[in-house]
Structure 1
Amino acid sequence: MSRLGHRAIGVALGLLLQKALPEPPDRWHPVGWFGTAMQRVEAVTYADSRSAGVRHALAGVALGAVAGRATSSTVLAVGLCAAGRELRRAARLVEAPLLDGDLAGARAHLPSLVGRDPSRLDASAIAAAVVESLAENSVDAVIAPAAWGLLAGAPGVLAHRAINTMDAMVGHHDDRYENYGWASARLDDGANWIPARLFALLVMAAEPGRASAVRGAVRRDAHLHPSPNAGVAEAAVAAALGRELGGPLHYGERHEDRPRLGDGARPEAVDISRARELTSRVEWALIGALVLLWWTDRRLAPAHAGAMRTRRTT
């Protein structure tokens, strides 16, 4: 079996592992350890400049890759870094009070998913925020770890997780991080560019009856979003659900009027469960594709070995 086949089954098993095992407590989670380490790096390297931010980002990527090399297990790396089940659990915590008409309860749980100010959001805006988070974070927390695991094994998985964590920590548009966080934010955009588009293809596979609408929405609307990857993921999910995402939102004192993605009515509380089910089907479709790649590689391996022996004897 080739290295690609080994990685494919390792990634598939890692995705199954994160479905089966509970999320470790924050103090025992390697991502938490990484965050603590990068806070110390920031304390030493911070300056209001892009060059300082580049040094910060390179240190984080190196730390992630070295940790992946030490781990050496793609199964374990993906199992620790993928978080599809945890993402859907967090969405359910917002969904439950929203279905009961408890806006205060839904707003209280929303910050675990999104950074926007929940205090001004009505029920539809809360539902939209959750659906958008399920779309965008399925790329970050499921598709990208799998893609980087397939490409580079455990070092790739943990290097990607390092990039994603640094973007969450310093990739902000504010006075402190506008320059220092620039490199981390751009690295995150690059690391998730292919996974975001793979996610859209998997949405089409998981919702074949809406495949044409998904493809059309991604082509028409995704580029309007300020993020080159979130726009693709959100447009795909909007079209798959037949709902419209985007619109005005607040991050503290900062106001943004995001472009509208997809066609249809604005989301309602019941659409959160539809989005959860969709992203779960996407994850299973990914696992199935990885197992198929592994199986195909195994079937082709004897023929390839035979051809190599024939070449050596002629």
Structure 2
Amino acid sequence: MIFYSIQELLLLAIAAIVLDWIIGDPKWPTHPVIWIGRLIKGLERLLYPRDNAASPITVKLRGCLLTLITIGVSWGMMTLIVWLADAIHVWLGYALSAWFISTTLAVKGLKDAAMLVYVPLTQGNLTAARRYVGYIVGRDTDSLSEPEAARAAVETVAENTVDAFLSPLLFALIGGAPLAMLYRSANTLDSMVGYRNEKYIHFGWCSARLDDVLNYIPARLTGVLMVAAAAMLPGMNARRSWRSIRRFASLHPSPNSGIPEAAVAGAIGIQLGGVNRYFGVESERARMGWKSRELEPRDIRASISMLYAVSIIALAGLGGVWLCLL
């Protein structure tokens, strides 16, 4: 395994953030996350019990095996690739490491996905907005109102500021591209099998719990950075953002997602959460923030501004630490 110094890891993380800002998340067939998704699907077909009489513990154990194989293969393959690249030339190792870390980030990808909802909403095309909301959330979208479509986009940007930026960045700072890819594989597992429905309640248990553990510290750090971002951005309220975290974050069913959602809701002055529908069944989601008005398309832009502000603060912080270590 390639061991980088702290200074090298800092520079790799900085380069990865810039690459993500510029290139984003291209849907190439060779994109690592696509291959991770294919691995998960193949393992699921192999490991998911075909016998409906299988006990919950058996299903959980098979799901744990799915999790262990997926993160092990992701970490192992990434380690091998970086080692081979470094053996050819150290700068090739640096370049591939920075690029692979950038593929675990998705600041530009989040912005692009949210803007696909924002643009048709501003044009009065609710049908198109609903369709694009369906690309980023699992809830029913056919009957979403304009405020509900805007809420779905804002919640996605807020929650994924942790999953698609700060968490992989922190793991990259600890263990380079291999550990960042291990995190991305765990997060992909959660998004594919970590549901509390009849099919995955047991099979996806290990994946969901692992994702909760890995995001625990990054989610709390994201909350702090979001409050700082609110203090920097015009029209945002940092004090209300902090109060919202303390008041509402623990009400969310996820131990982590409530923090960024509450922070964004408080900063902008809106209320997130409410009634969602999944396959026609209503699900009540805890409210985050104090409702002063209905959500509007401009709130999507505001959440994107917070996302980029958090990434800028992180970049500046990494650069400052690197300079101090010179």
Equivalent positions of 1:188-203 (< 5 A) are: 188-203=211-226
Paired residue type of 2:78: G
Range with bigger deviation, 124-133 or 45-54: 45-54
C-alpha distance in 2, partners of 1:252/1:139? 27
Paired residue type of 1:247: G
Equivalent positions of 1:161-200 (< 5 A) are: 161-200=184-223
Unaligned runs of 5+ in 2: 83-95
C-alpha distance in 1, partners of 2:20/2:34? 17
Correspondent of 1:104 among 101, 104, 127: 127
Task: Report how far residue 22 of structure 1 moved.
Answer: 4.7
Equivalent positions of 1:115-134 (< 5 A) are: 115-134=138-157
C-alpha distance in 2, partners of 1:265/1:22? 33
**Secondary structure class of the residue paired with 1:255:** strand
CA deviations over 1:251-306 (Å, ceiling 9, x no partner): 213321111111132311111111111111111111111111111122xxxxxxxx
| 2:315 alignment counterpart | 287
C-alpha distance in 2, partners of 1:12/1:46? 40
Contact 1:53 1:183 in 2 (8 A): yes
Matched, 1:277 2:305: yes
| 2:77 alignment counterpart | 67
| 2:240 alignment counterpart | 213
CA deviations over 1:178-212 (Å, ceiling 9, x no partner): 10001001111111111111111111111116222
C-alpha distance in 1, partners of 2:285/2:112? 26
Contact 2:230 2:241 in 1 (8 A): no
Task: Report how far residue 56 of structure 1 moved.
Answer: 0.6
C-alpha distance in 1, partners of 2:322/2:81? 22
**Secondary structure class of the residue paired with 2:67:** helix
Task: Report how far residue 41 of structure 1 moved.
Answer: 1.3
C-alpha distance in 1, partners of 2:165/2:216? 14
**Secondary structure class of the residue paired with 2:75:** helix
Equivalent positions of 1:88-103 (< 5 A) are: 88-103=111-126
C-alpha distance in 2, partners of 1:22/1:137? 15
Unaligned runs of 5+ in 1: 299-314
| 2:85 alignment counterpart | none
| 1:39 alignment counterpart | 41
Task: Report how far residue 120 of structure 1 moved.
Answer: 2.0
CA deviations over 1:157-189 (Å, ceiling 9, x no partner): 000000011111111122221100010011111
| 1:248 alignment counterpart | 275
CA deviations over 1:48-105 (Å, ceiling 9, x no partner): 6111111111111101211221243541222111111011001001101101111101
| 2:65 alignment counterpart | 55
Q: Quick check: which one's helix share is greater?
A: 1
Contact 1:81 1:145 in 2 (8 A): yes
Range with bigger deviation, 156-165 or 31-40: 31-40
Runs of 4+ that moved beyond 4 A? none
CA deviations over 1:14-51 (Å, ceiling 9, x no partner): 01111112533342211111111121111222236111
C-alpha distance in 1, partners of 2:138/2:175? 31
C-alpha distance in 2, partners of 1:24/1:44? 29
C-alpha distance in 1, partners of 2:149/2:26? 27
Contact 1:71 1:154 in 2 (8 A): no
CA deviations over 1:108-150 (Å, ceiling 9, x no partner): 1111211111112100011111000000111111111101111
Correspondent of 1:13 among 12, 15, 39: 15
C-alpha distance in 1, partners of 2:31/2:267? 34
Contact 1:11 1:74 in 2 (8 A): no
**Secondary structure class of the residue paired with 1:120:** coil
C-alpha distance in 2, partners of 1:228/1:192? 9
Paired residue type of 1:171: G
CA root-mean-square deviation: 1.5
Contact 1:94 1:106 in 2 (8 A): yes
Residues matched between the structures, number: 297
